[in-house]
């Protein structure tokens, strides 16, 4: 048999061969260390503890209980199998009406029912990852830019830029005012882009913030709205951590702000949502684009063909999220458990003089280790990070991978483990800090326990009635632990 053969290699695309996948970032290096030597309480108690993965693992017992009592929600069980055929055939990119209705209702409840969401504006996507890429394809041409406050989620570089060829421009935020997104910083970033002849298409906000674990206050949100209206650019609000707010102040969604002033151009506003963080279902790939712009909804819907939610999953989620009683219980328990976990860690860290940014949301802490750096440089931060991974055996994420302008900050995920592992992680940190105690100022008294009102979790309404503890924008002066380096 004869055939043509050749030794030449076929070309791949530029996108296939560039670094747009962003996997060379240190964000992923730590994962590799974990994969090689994963912690297990019985089989590998000295392995690396995964603290680089923002997952919500605290409420599966509630969901499992619900599943057992609701067999009809699965089309695989005897109770649900009569729906199998219709669901298996359903590939309409509008999505199951019951799914859209349930998601819209859930989104409203998570925001304390202060706003209503229209099921017809809900567009599906392959997780929030897919949602971010999709909205970018709708709004931006190759070379167009989005402004993003730093520090920001490492995955955005891939999600918004890789295949879309859009770009991200940082809006630099500083710890001096708790990383507040100021109008000044927005204007500076915009002006810089204009000078460089880069077309800015929009602003991307993450609220609650990853990696900070804080929420945006009303003033900041209003400034952002005023800014984008003035420049006539889009506003994308990633609210995937909305239900992880566990303490006052209350979460304020952009959906509320938009109702405050009729002059706001609603066509500019789009919300990204997902069930991966709030419910703990990253595997189910439930991403949502919610747009106030009809043309974007229509275009997005067509694009959703490239990342529809499995109809089997839509069916299950529709059933679960429409169960008002269950959802009420879930949201309450979830907030409480996150609060407890947060307190366990912040208390434990505080006892060895490690401070975190004061946050009330998210599945992580933004830990301040600037005092442990040899120099205030990215290299020093990376060196410290390698020590934490290899010696302390904790996979935490260095601030540089979030484009933080100040070296020394680390994101530490705390909701993806059980209580036993929490204790092990804290013990390791304690031991590491005490071992390195010959560094200056390590043994300062923990002032926070004096100033901060202690909250042990009781009922959520007790929590809400408690006096507001120090918010990131508190007038209380900075801790003496925060040293300015000369």
Partner 1 sequence: MAKEIEAAPSVQLSSIAVSETHGENSPYFAGWKAYDENPYNEASNPSGVIQMGLAENQVSFDLLEEYLETHPEASFRGRGATGFRENALFQDYHGLPTFRKAMASFMEEIRGGRAKFDPRRVVLTAGATAANELLTFVLADRGTAWLVPTPYYPGFDRDLRWRTGVNIVPINCDSSNNFQITTPALEAAYELAESMNIRVSGVLITNPSNPLGVTISRSVLEDILDFITRKNIHLVSDEIYSGSVFSSSEFVSVAEVLEAREYKGSERVHIVYSLSKDLGLPGFRVGTIYSYNDEVVTTARRMSSFTLISSQTQHLLACMLSDKKFTKNYIEVNRTRLRKRYERIIEGLRSAGIECLKGNAGLFCWMNLSPLLEKPTKEGELDLWRTMVHELKLNISPGSSCHCSEPGWFRVCFANMSEHTLEVALERIHKYMEQRRT
Catalytic residues: 153, 238, 240, 277
User: How many residues contact partner 1, by CB under 8 A?
Assistant: 84
Q: For the CA atoms of 169, 173, 179, 180, what is the dihedral angle to 10 degrees?
A: -80
Binding piece for partner 1, criterion CB under 8 A, among 64-72, 112-120, 368-376, 381-389: 64-72
Sort 391 into a burial class: Cβ within 10 Å, 0-12 / 13-18 / 19+: exposed
Please identify, among the stretches 9-17, 209-217, 328-336, 427-435, the one whose residues bind partner 1 according to the rule CB under 8 A.
9-17
Among 147, 212, 296, 384, binds partner 1 (CB under 8 A): 296
- Binding window for partner 1 (CB under 8 A); candidates: 97-105, 304-312, 428-436, 473-481: 304-312
Q: Which is nearer to partner 1, 276 or 360 (CB)?
A: 276
Closer CB to partner 1, 67 or 350, in the complex: 67
Residue 438 C-beta: closest distance to partner 1, Å: 41
On whether the CB atoms of residues 455 and 463 are closer than 8 A, the answer is yes
Which helix (H) or strand (E) element contains residue 224? helix 218-231
Residues of this chain, 163-192, that bind partner 1 according to CB under 8 A: 163
Q: Looking at 310, 351, 421, 448, which residue binds partner 1 (CB under 8 A)?
A: 310
193 counts as binding partner 1 under rule CB under 8 A:
no
Binds partner 1 by CB under 8 A, chosen from 139, 145, 318, 357: 139
Q: Is 111 a residue that touches partner 1 (CB under 8 A)?
A: no
Q: For CA atoms 167, 234, 239, 174, give the dihedral sign.
A: positive
d(CA 262, CA 279): 33
CB of 150 to partner 1, least distance (A): 23
Residues 232-271 binding partner 1 (CB under 8 A) are 232, 234, 265, 267-268
3-state secondary structure of 234: strand
Minimum CB separation of residue 43 from partner 1 in Å reads: 15
Of residues 368 through 407, those in contact with partner 1 by CB under 8 A are none
- By the 10 Å C-beta count (0-12 exposed, 13-18 middle, 19+ buried), 52 is classed as buried
Nearer to partner 1, 85 or 218 (CB): 85
Asked if 12 is part of the footprint of partner 1 (rule: CB under 8 A), the reply reads: yes
Q: How many residues does the chain have?
A: 486
CB 108 within 8 A of CB 117: yes
Pick the closer one to partner 1 by CB: 232 or 456.
232
- CB burial readout 264-276, b (16+ within 10 A) else e: beeebbbbbbbbb
3-state SS of 173-215? CCHHHCCCCCHHHHHHHHHHHHHCCCCEEEEEEECCCCCCCCC
């Amino acid at each position: 048999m004869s055939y043509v053969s050749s030794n030449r290699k076929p070309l791949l695309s530029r996108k296939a061969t560039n670094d747009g996948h962003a996997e060379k970032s240190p964000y992923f290096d730590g994962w590799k260390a974990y994969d090689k030597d994963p912690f297990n309480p019985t089989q590998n108690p000295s392995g690396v503890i995964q603290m680089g993965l923002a997952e919500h693992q605290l409420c599966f017992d509630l969901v499992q209980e619900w599943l057992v009592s609701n067999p009809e929600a699965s089309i695989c069980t005897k109770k649900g199998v009569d729906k199998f055929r219709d669901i298996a055939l359903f590939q309409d990119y509008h999505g199951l009406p019951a799914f859209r209705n349930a998601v819209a209702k859930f989104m409203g409840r998570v925001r304390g029912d202060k706003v209503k969401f229209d099921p017809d504006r809900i567009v599906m996507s392959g997780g929030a990852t897919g949602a971010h890429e999709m909205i970018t394809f709708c709004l931006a041409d190759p070379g167009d830019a989005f402004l993003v406050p730093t520090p920001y989620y490492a995955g955005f570089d891939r999600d918004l830029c890789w295949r879309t060829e859009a770009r991200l421009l940082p809006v630099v935020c500083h710890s001096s005012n708790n990383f507040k997104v100021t109008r000044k910083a927005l204007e500076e970033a915009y002006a810089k882009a204009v000078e460089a002849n880069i077309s800015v298409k929009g602003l991307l906000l993450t609220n609650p913030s990853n990696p900070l674990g804080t929420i945006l206050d009303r003033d900041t949100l209003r400034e952002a709205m005023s800014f984008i209206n003035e420049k006539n650019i889009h506003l994308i609000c990633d609210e995937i951590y909305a239900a992880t707010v566990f303490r006052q102040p209350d979460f304020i969604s952009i959906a509320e702000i938009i109702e405050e002033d009729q002059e706001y151009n609603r066509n500019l506003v789009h919300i990204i949502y997902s069930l991966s963080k709030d419910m703990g279902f990253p595997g189910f790939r439930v991403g949502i684009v919610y747009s106030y712009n009809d043309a974007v909804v229509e275009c997005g819907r067509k694009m959703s063909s490239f990342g529809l939610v499995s109809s089997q999953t839509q069916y299950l989620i529709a059933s679960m999220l429409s169960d008002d009683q269950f959802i009420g219980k879930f949201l309450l328990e979830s907030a409480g458990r996150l609060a407890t976990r947060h307190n366990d860690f912040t208390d434990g860290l505080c006892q060895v003089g490690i401070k975190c940014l004061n946050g009330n949301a998210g599945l992580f802490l933004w830990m301040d280790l600037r005092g442990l750096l040899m120099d205030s440089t990215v290299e020093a931060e990376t060196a410290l990070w390698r020590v934490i991974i290899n010696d302390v055996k904790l996979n935490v994420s260095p601030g540089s991978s979030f484009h933080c302008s100040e070296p020394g900050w680390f994101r530490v995920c705390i909701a993806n483990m059980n209580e036993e592992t929490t204790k092990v992680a804290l013990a390791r940190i304690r031991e590491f800090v005490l071992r390195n105690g010959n560094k200056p100022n390590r043994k300062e008294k923990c002032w926070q326990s004096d100033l901060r009102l202690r909250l042990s979790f009781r009922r959520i309404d007790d929590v809400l009635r408690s006096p507001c503890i120090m918010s990131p924008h508190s007038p209380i002066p900075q801790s003496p632990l925060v040293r300015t380096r000369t």
